[in-house]
Amino acid sequence: MNAKSLVVIGIFGIATPALAAAPTIDQLIANPPLLNAEMDRCKHLGMAANDDPRCQTAWKAENKRFFGNGVRYSPEPVNIFRNTPDKLVPAEKQQPIPPAPAGAPHG
């Protein structure tokens, strides 16, 4: 190898950075500007973003950032009205009251 080829290899080695690994969900949550940049990139991809793994990771990170890690549902329903019984017993079916016979018209 001569000096010219070494210089050319050295220049191209410096000029072309190695492709960075795709950021993880936790890295995106910890770095909001990076998450915004990924979301913008996915927005500009259009329908192709559906198949892009980096966009799917960004969407998962956005959902995790928005919803958090909390419990989704309470284990027991909340009883807002304390005076209601725990179990509702259906009332007995009432017989309809027949209409009163029509009398003389008022007037």
Ordered per-residue pLDDT tens for the chain, 107 residues: 565 655 555 555 555 445 578 899 999 999 999 999 999 999 999 999 999 999 999 999 999 999 887 666 667 777 777 777 666 666 677 778 888 888 777 76
User: Residue 24's closest CA among 56, 47, 49, 46?
Assistant: 56
Predicted pLDDT of residue 72: 65
Predicted pLDDT of residue 89: 65
| Cα 10 from Cα 3, distance rounded (Å) | 10
Predicted pLDDT of residue 3: 59
Predicted pLDDT of residue 27: 94
Predicted pLDDT of residue 86: 66
The domain ranges of the chain are 23-67
| Cα 101 from Cα 89, distance rounded (Å) | 35
| Cα 64 from Cα 68, distance rounded (Å) | 5
